[in-house]
Structure 1
Amino acid sequence: MENNPDTTLVTQTAPIANETHGGRAKCLQRLVRLDLPVPRTVALSFKAVHKIGAGHLPDVQAVVAQFPKGALMCVRPSSEDPDWGGPGAVLNIGINDARFAELCETMGEGPAASLYTRFVQSYAVNVARLDPDMFDEIEGEGREALAESLRAYEAETEEAFPQDTATQLTAVLRSMARAWEGTSARLLRQAKGAPADAGLGLVVQEMVFGIGSGQCGSGVLQLVDSDTGLPQITGRYMCQSQGRDALHGDAGAMYLTRDPRGASLEEAVPEAFETLKTHAALMRARLRAEMQVEFVIDEGKVHILDGMRVPRSSRAAVRIAVALADEGIISREEALMRVQPRTLTELLHRQVDPSAKRDVIGHGIAASPGAATGKIVFSATEAQAAASRSEPCILVRRETSPEDIRGMHAAHAVLTERGGITSHAAVIGRGIGLPCVVGASNMTFNLVKKTITAPDGRVFAAGDEITVDGSAGEILAGAAKMQEAALDETFQRLMDWAEEAADIGIRANADTPADAQTARNFDAHGIGLCRTEHMFFEPGRLTVMREMIFAESGEDRRAVLERLLPMQRDDFTQLFRIMQGQPVCIRLFDPPLHEFLPADKAGQRELAEALDLPLSDVTRRIDALTEYNPMLGLRGVRLGVTVPEIYEMQARAIFEATIDASRDGDPVVPEIMIPLVSARREVELVKTAVDAIAAAVRNEGEADFTYRLGVMVETPRAALRAGEIAPHCSFLSFGTNDLTQMTYGLSRDDAGRFMSDYVQQGVFPEDPFHVLDVDGVGELLQLGAERGRAAQPGITLSICGEHGGNPESIAFCRAAGFDYVSCSPFRVPVARLAAAQLAILHKIG
């Protein structure tokens, strides 16, 4: 049986692999190779277990024959990934009336009866599929409890409890195989990332009782704390127990090390404790991982039943990987590969404590990670007022607009009824590190009465306290217990290693000095997208902006924009100084002008008073600017061509800021990006105007500077005609938010309402606003990149949509030869780690 590929005796040389027999079987073989005291074990392959589920059994009698005569056995699952789960272990297989009598002689009637009773009840529930409640009435212990359990089994099944070892083992194997193949089990593991056809192996192991005379018991031990990753012997041990009984909170469980709170293994059996520590240290060094050791002590002797990867929090995962690399157990590159990029998100933001009780009152799309508690407010003004009182608040809106920017900055989290993963609230939330849940359509929002109603009927009004969990997409009642962010030296060292390994640039999307500082703190390679329109929503600027909109001629507009010029120049000067020596890509004005005008009557009256105009003039102008589909209307470069004064003012502000910031630091090379281009002539017109402004500023300031001008490719036509556009540009930056929107004909703000249905029914494999559609949108990117590079070989290529922080999208961009990706500042560490892992995978083939 040692060389049988399907029912394999676990020896040092047996043909066992993780891909054929599962992680538990392979780990047990590694422990055998370390000469650790592992009980005799037989591993059943994925293929064998699949056949068992279909009714084709292996030679079970031959499996039993591998163990000493009279030995009891246990069966445990062995899946390829322990996170995929599997059926529960069944212990003490092989015990029967005759073996019970023998055990009574060797270990005493009480322990023997305990073993037999445990197996009868486990067999009844897990194999015969009987209701576990049938044993609730059984009282007492020993022979009496055993007899009652056997009577209950026989009464329910109308047959005697099986006495043959092979019969028992056959039934257990068949039950576990079929449990794995069941629909609910398959769906559950697929939700954890397992493929639909994931296999299950089983290991049949000789029982070491942990029950009997002398010092007997079982427990688990690990050398690090699962929450912090710091060195600390943790675990539990319980006398007269089996399996993982010690972890079930039993009052009889003991600590491992000396502890003032109670008895410990170190004091009770010091020799066994030292042996365990030695074995655990050997496993750590030779298996190159922090391991949790499952052990049994039988009459003072230690036996190792299993070893598994220590369960760990995100912060522990980082610390463990770095510690193993520091000690030379693994390389730095392997340390980088052992940390999932998405787990870094939990380190960057406060999170709801995993142990906290959750009173969930609503669900939505997890749009921006992190969690926060605060009182409900329903307007940006109320959020700002709460912030002035140092009172945490949650901004609740039907959906947010650029006018809500200041309120979002003041709030601790945002909750919206509508929207998707790239809606306004989601994009801004990720950019400023603000927890955000959008598309909470299962809740009822009443903005007139200022209430939100949960599906269960509970009503929450303005001033009530709720918690928004942007990582899970949940809204909780009250204040949940929180876990703070953990950006320590260990995190920074991992990021330094990622920087050394990565071969694609990572920039940040940053609109404010605060965003830029966050990007700088996370060592972004510059700013890949600065959206200038957000700078115009400051109260002092919004009125001036509205004046410009109401100006009758180009000269009048220029006169008004003269007042905005120093404000814009100051914004850019701050950005340049923070990012000194790094590129800053500034997108010229993009949104339609109507977004800057009030939609409600009260706001329109205030605007009429501020501008000293009749209300009718204001409403007429607003009506004139209203568009049926503003996303496809007069915005982006179309405004730059038809209302050129805005771009002229912005270009002047950029160039004057360039001169200011370069006086006392490294020369700044700004990048100016034209949005929403679809034709070469648009680029030519804007480029001519920008070049003229640059020449004028050089002459006026008597200073020289250089700049780069490029295009934001976010229309399908721009991607297809990139060969015509590229010769007039230094760079092409693909805006995948709008490009996805236009390619699919989907509104990124409204698609969230039905996207989950589409994904569940297989229309789309993933939300294309969340994970880049490499087939459709990706083909446009590839065409644009190929045609752009063919026309201008040295052109810089990048993406600056929200996909830039997604590991799968980074893989696509890297393979397509892009120079960098740009993402929200708080996604920069995730993107840097993903980029490093891609480079490492490429290097090792």
Structure 2
Amino acid sequence: MRYVYSFDHKHRRPPMEHKDLLGGKGANLAEMSSVLKLPVPPGFTVTTDACRAYMESGWPSDIDDEIARHVAELEATMGRSLGDANDPLLVSVRSGARISMPGMMDTVLNLGLNDKSVKGLAKVTGSKRFAYDSYRRFIAMYANVVMGADADAFEARLADARSATGAATDADIPADALVSLCTDYKKLAKEQTGKAFPQDPYKQLRGAIEAVFASWNGARAVAYRVRENIEHTLGTAVNVQTMVFGNRDERSGTGVGFTRNASTGENKPYGDFLVNAQGEDVVAGIRNTQNLDDMKEVFPEVYDELLDIFVRLERHYTDMCDTEFTIEQGKLWMLQTRIGKRTGVAALKMAVDMTKGTGKGADRWKITREEALQRVTADHLDAVLHPQFDTSGEVVATGLGASPGAAVGAVYFNADDAADAADRGEEVILVRNETSPEDVHGMMVAEGILTVRGGLVSHAAVVARGWGTPAVVGAEAIKIDGKQFTVGSVTVREGDVISLDGSTGEVVVGAMHTADAEPPEEFEILLGWADKVRKGKLAVRANADSGDDAANARRLGAEGIGLCRTEHMFLAPDRLPVVRRMILADTEEEEAAALDELRTVQQADFEEVLEAMDGLPVTIRLLDPPLHEFLPSVEELKIKQASGGLSDQERRELAAAEAWSEHNPMLGTRGVRLGVIKPGLYAMQVRALLDAAAALRKRKKHPIVEIMIPLTVTREELALARSWVQTEVDSALKGMKNKPDITIGTMIETPRAAVRADEIAEAADFFSFGTNDLTQLTFGFSRDDVESRMMPAYLDQGLLKRNPFDTIDQTGVGDLVRLGVERGRSTKKKLKMGVCGEHGGDPESIDLFYRAGLDYVSCSPYRVPIARLSAAQAVIRNR
């Protein structure tokens, strides 16, 4: 198997189509080198195949010769040799997975330097300071990444060197001090690791490549993949690239640039750069950066060349691109490009703008509306629906608004403390001088992120935008001291609450009030396009239990209600005592009186829901949970009995709670089984529903009612339950003019129901797949017990690729859905089918439901826009 490819290798297909093999970074470096002919420093890619082989059985035995051959070719191309004492070739070693994981894996720069070659570098460049600055960077990075030394110890020595020499910045430390620092660094590496710093450049290269492979399974990379739902088995490629030096002199620099604004979507390039610096300095936020407009003044010719390359990249990729570049003594080098991450607002604006065309003449290009729909993700839509502050507070500091949205939370100053606080249920704001990949677990749980240093392309900004987390960066007025920060006379301590506005960059002490967001106009434009694509193919309904929820769902584009849970109506404070009277009734008369009282209030509830969805179908699920859920806790009543005694009512409630108590209530007397024991309960609900429909018909409304019987597992069970419902329907409709539309169906939520769907369909007008319970019963998981305790371990260890309660299990539960559809329609060809579990709002699950042949998905009201988009994307993808 071939493991190594040069950037300029002639692939049979465009290199950017080989991301599975070359990784995203390697594929795009090859694309820029061999197709676009951009100024890219030469290099080669060690493939993801090599990484997977390494993870399975260690360093591949046949890879050394390949790497050596490519190093020799690189040396011939550059006219310099790795580790040469007179004119050394230096390389960078960077990770590059198929899916971008910014900052989550390791990088080594300046590889090839040693005690001899650093002198050659000083001689050939004429700058001792530059050579030893590069060497001290390499020693610190290699010692940390490859040898396992503590990075903070090296940073502390660097700070001591700045202080001892009176240097304002790292760039001001004189050459002789850097020589001493390199000696100190090598001693420190030996002290911390027990190993001498390697002088052989080929051993350095082997160690760096192996360290990048190993970093694929590092804690921060695993945590990021779990957060982003990236498969753990993909592995990373490694890119070995000729070093170019942005820290060579004042005519050199480095930067990160976007072809258009990743925060707002404005069609204007933006980014950050630093003079006399290396790339890590920009993204780490160690020095505050300058923007591209400043670059026009410092490097005017390079600026023009860079913007010309931006135009070429956008035209080639037909999308906004994120780039890294270095200027070495006035010459521009492109180090990387990729499709850039963007905020929700920017994603919507770019998608719509790009359908109108961009550029002029031969450079003009545009995308179709269907392509635009595929550029927007569920997270983008979610982000523009984030709450915003509805009042203004006293602003104590202002930074750069790096990721829009309003965030309120308690301040924590390191990732571990933030994660612990989030585990306790606190809403957290992570405050750091600058973030690094080591902070990812704290960033993941934070409501917002605030950094003192860094620009719009710093680590904090890029990661926050990718996750839709509000962030403010570069708030320089803030001074962090241990577990507090100060701004002028204001002190904020750990645990104090602050508010961040990720749009304006404002920081406010205390909790500000938030209001619903007002999505940009592109939001409705794109969803309108989505509705046209999916029309007649996959409808979107909402799960709603009240008139207000139903009205909100309709406002957000729901085409009906797929699940109205009637038990939620019973839990209202004025209903619960009546439900308990019904459960505690000693006589049929008492039970009938309680049921009649419930019928009156249920009718009012149903009228509100049906009126809000007038003319659209509403699926009403008859009572599902076991009756003990409406009674006080047995444990609490027994404690009270032991400590102070119970009233007569409480004694009756305790007896009833014990009588209805079950060892496994999820598999007990619930759903249709409850109806078998208490058929009067279902009869009451159906009468209330029909009375509500009749009242609306008198008001010239058009209610469309779907009565759903939960948890049926046999044809006979559904036929019996249907007979109760049909009796009430026939009685209510007898002699009625303007009869409402009424159908009767069931939930498919057990494996048996899916397997015997052909039989159950004989007694059903429709099916609704309850994928929450179907998942529990297929896996044998109790969701309430496994999600917090067991699921994280299963995901971290790769025992499950995804949490099956978030995204449907494609080959287990998904197969049952497909089988249920196939067998149900073998009995009734036009049987209406939908899904009402929480998976109805998940994009990947929606794709499966469309392929399975469902007529609609149903989800919570605020997920309706996401489901509308995802349904259209499923239609486009599966044509």
Question: TM-score if structure 1 supplies the norm length?
Answer: 0.74
Name the amino acid aligned to 2:763.
Answer: H
CA displacement, residues 511-565 of structure 1 (integer Å, 9 cap, x when unaligned): 1112212321221231111111211222333333333334455455444433333
Q: Which residue of 1 is the match for residue 119 of structure 2?
A: 97
Q: Is the 8 A contact 2:704 2:740 kept in 1?
A: yes
In structure 2, do the counterparts of structure 1 residues 248 and 481 end up closer, same or farther at CA, with 3 Å as the change threshold? farther
Q: How far did residue 204 of structure 1 move?
A: 1.9
Name the amino acid aligned to 1:282.
Answer: R
Q: Secondary structure at the match of 1:590?
A: coil
Q: Is the 8 A contact 1:357 1:480 kept in 2?
A: no
Q: Which residue of 2 is the match for residue 338 of structure 1?
A: 375
Residue 100 of structure 2 is aligned to residue 82 of structure 1: yes
CA displacement, residues 437-459 of structure 1 (integer Å, 9 cap, x when unaligned): xxxxxxxxxxxxxxxxxxxxxxx
Residue 846 of structure 2 is aligned to residue 827 of structure 1: no
Partner residue of 2:354 out of 310, 324, 327: 324
Q: Which residue of 2 is the match for residue 669 of structure 1?
A: 704
Name the amino acid aligned to 1:75.
Answer: S
Partner residue of 2:524 out of 492, 496, 518: 492
Q: Which residue of 2 is the match for residue 608 of structure 1?
A: none
Name the amino acid aligned to 2:77.
Answer: Q
Q: Which residue of 2 is the match for residue 636 of structure 1?
A: 671
Within 5 Å, give how 1:263-662 maps onto structure 2. 264-327=294-357, 329-342=366-379, 344-350=381-387, 353=407, 357-358=411-412, 359-362=418-421, 487-502=519-534, 503-554=537-588, 556-599=590-633, 620-662=655-697
Q: How far did residue 38 of structure 1 move?
A: 1.0
Q: Which residue of 1 is the match for residue 835 of structure 2?
A: 799
In structure 2, do the counterparts of structure 1 residues 815 and 247 end up closer, same or farther at CA, with 3 Å as the change threshold? closer
Q: Secondary structure at the match of 2:574?
A: helix
Q: How far did residue 88 of structure 1 move?
A: 1.5
In structure 2, do the counterparts of structure 1 residues 630 and 161 end up closer, same or farther at CA, with 3 Å as the change threshold? closer
In structure 2, do the counterparts of structure 1 residues 279 and 90 end up closer, same or farther at CA, with 3 Å as the change threshold? same
In structure 2, do the counterparts of structure 1 residues 740 and 274 end up closer, same or farther at CA, with 3 Å as the change threshold? closer
Partner residue of 1:739 out of 760, 771, 774: 774
Q: How far did residue 673 of structure 1 move?
A: 0.7
Q: Secondary structure at the match of 1:538?
A: coil
Q: Which residue of 1 is the match for residue 244 of structure 2?
A: 207
Q: How far did residue 726 of structure 1 move?
A: 1.4
Looking at structure 1, the residues matched to 787 and 841 of structure 2 have their Cα atoms a distance apart, in angstroms, of 20
Name the amino acid aligned to 2:91.
Answer: C
Give unmatched runs, 5+ long, in structure 2: 52-58, 81-86, 166-172, 358-364, 388-404, 413-417, 430-446, 448-494, 500-508, 641-646
CA displacement, residues 62-113 of structure 1 (integer Å, 9 cap, x when unaligned): 3211114557543242433331754314138575424422322xxx555565
CA displacement, residues 707-756 of structure 1 (integer Å, 9 cap, x when unaligned): 11011223444334433321221012222333334445543333346433
Residue 743 of structure 2 is aligned to residue 708 of structure 1: yes
Q: Which residue of 2 is the match for residue 31 of structure 1?
A: 32
Q: Is the 8 A contact 1:208 1:303 kept in 2?
A: no
Looking at structure 1, the residues matched to 677 and 585 of structure 2 have their Cα atoms a distance apart, in angstroms, of 14
Q: Is the 8 A contact 2:244 2:326 kept in 1?
A: no
Q: Secondary structure at the match of 1:82?
A: coil
Q: How far did residue 188 of structure 1 move?
A: 4.6
Q: Secondary structure at the match of 1:702?
A: coil
Q: Secondary structure at the match of 1:544?
A: helix
Q: Is the 8 A contact 1:120 1:149 kept in 2?
A: no
Q: Which residue of 2 is the match for residue 219 of structure 1?
A: 255
Q: How far did residue 663 of structure 1 move?
A: 5.0
Looking at structure 1, the residues matched to 654 and 3 of structure 2 have their Cα atoms a distance apart, in angstroms, of 81
Within 5 Å, give how 1:93-132 maps onto structure 2. 93=112, 96-104=118-126, 110-111=129-130, 114-115=133-134, 118=137
Q: Secondary structure at the match of 2:292?
A: coil
Looking at structure 2, the residues matched to 356 and 284 of structure 1 have their Cα atoms a distance apart, in angstroms, of 41
Q: Which residue of 1 is the match for residue 733 of structure 2?
A: 698
Residue 97 of structure 2 is aligned to residue 62 of structure 1: no
Name the amino acid aligned to 2:873.
Answer: Q
More divergent stretch after superposition (354-363 vs 495-504)? 354-363
Residue 37 of structure 2 is aligned to residue 41 of structure 1: no
In structure 2, do the counterparts of structure 1 residues 626 and 83 end up closer, same or farther at CA, with 3 Å as the change threshold? closer
Looking at structure 2, the residues matched to 675 and 51 of structure 1 have their Cα atoms a distance apart, in angstroms, of 56
Q: What fraction of aligned residue pairs are identical, expressed as a percent?
A: 31
Looking at structure 1, the residues matched to 45 and 327 of structure 2 have their Cα atoms a distance apart, in angstroms, of 26
Give unmatched runs, 5+ long, in structure 1: 258-263, 374-412, 414-463, 469-477, 606-611
Q: Which residue of 2 is the match for residue 198 of structure 1?
A: 235
Residue 27 of structure 2 is aligned to residue 21 of structure 1: no
Q: Is the 8 A contact 1:604 1:618 kept in 2?
A: no
Looking at structure 2, the residues matched to 9 and 639 of structure 1 have their Cα atoms a distance apart, in angstroms, of 67
Partner residue of 1:724 out of 735, 756, 759: 759
Q: How far did residue 363 of structure 1 move?
A: 5.5
Name the amino acid aligned to 2:4.
Answer: D
- Number of residue pairs matched by the alignment: 720
Residue 791 of structure 2 is aligned to residue 790 of structure 1: no
Looking at structure 2, the residues matched to 595 and 764 of structure 1 have their Cα atoms a distance apart, in angstroms, of 32
Q: Secondary structure at the match of 2:713?
A: coil
In structure 2, do the counterparts of structure 1 residues 722 and 186 end up closer, same or farther at CA, with 3 Å as the change threshold? same
Looking at structure 2, the residues matched to 524 and 534 of structure 1 have their Cα atoms a distance apart, in angstroms, of 20
Looking at structure 2, the residues matched to 778 and 117 of structure 1 have their Cα atoms a distance apart, in angstroms, of 55
More divergent stretch after superposition (560-569 vs 728-737)? 560-569
Looking at structure 2, the residues matched to 25 and 831 of structure 1 have their Cα atoms a distance apart, in angstroms, of 34
More divergent stretch after superposition (149-158 vs 561-570)? 149-158
Q: Which residue of 2 is the match for residue 810 of structure 1?
A: 846
In structure 2, do the counterparts of structure 1 residues 653 and 496 end up closer, same or farther at CA, with 3 Å as the change threshold? same
Q: Which residue of 1 is the match for residue 483 of structure 2?
A: none
Q: Which residue of 2 is the match for residue 8 of structure 1?
A: 6
Q: Is the 8 A contact 1:544 1:563 kept in 2?
A: yes
Q: How far did residue 200 of structure 1 move?
A: 1.4
Instruction: Supply the RMSD in Å over aligned alpha carbons.
Output: 4.3
CA displacement, residues 460-511 of structure 1 (integer Å, 9 cap, x when unaligned): xxxx99999xxxxxxxxx9789998563323333333333334333322111
Question: TM-score if structure 2 supplies the norm length?
Answer: 0.71
Q: Which residue of 1 is the match for residue 169 of structure 2?
A: none
Looking at structure 1, the residues matched to 409 and 338 of structure 2 have their Cα atoms a distance apart, in angstroms, of 22
CA displacement, residues 614-650 of structure 1 (integer Å, 9 cap, x when unaligned): 7665655555444454444443223334433332232
Q: Secondary structure at the match of 2:279?
A: coil
Q: How far did residue 794 of structure 1 move?
A: 1.9
Looking at structure 2, the residues matched to 719 and 302 of structure 1 have their Cα atoms a distance apart, in angstroms, of 62
Q: Is the 8 A contact 1:598 1:604 kept in 2?
A: no
More divergent stretch after superposition (69-78 vs 793-802)? 69-78
In structure 2, do the counterparts of structure 1 residues 357 and 614 end up closer, same or farther at CA, with 3 Å as the change threshold? closer
More divergent stretch after superposition (228-237 vs 612-621)? 612-621
In structure 2, do the counterparts of structure 1 residues 61 and 682 end up closer, same or farther at CA, with 3 Å as the change threshold? closer
Looking at structure 2, the residues matched to 739 and 249 of structure 1 have their Cα atoms a distance apart, in angstroms, of 48
Q: Is the 8 A contact 2:610 2:618 kept in 1?
A: yes
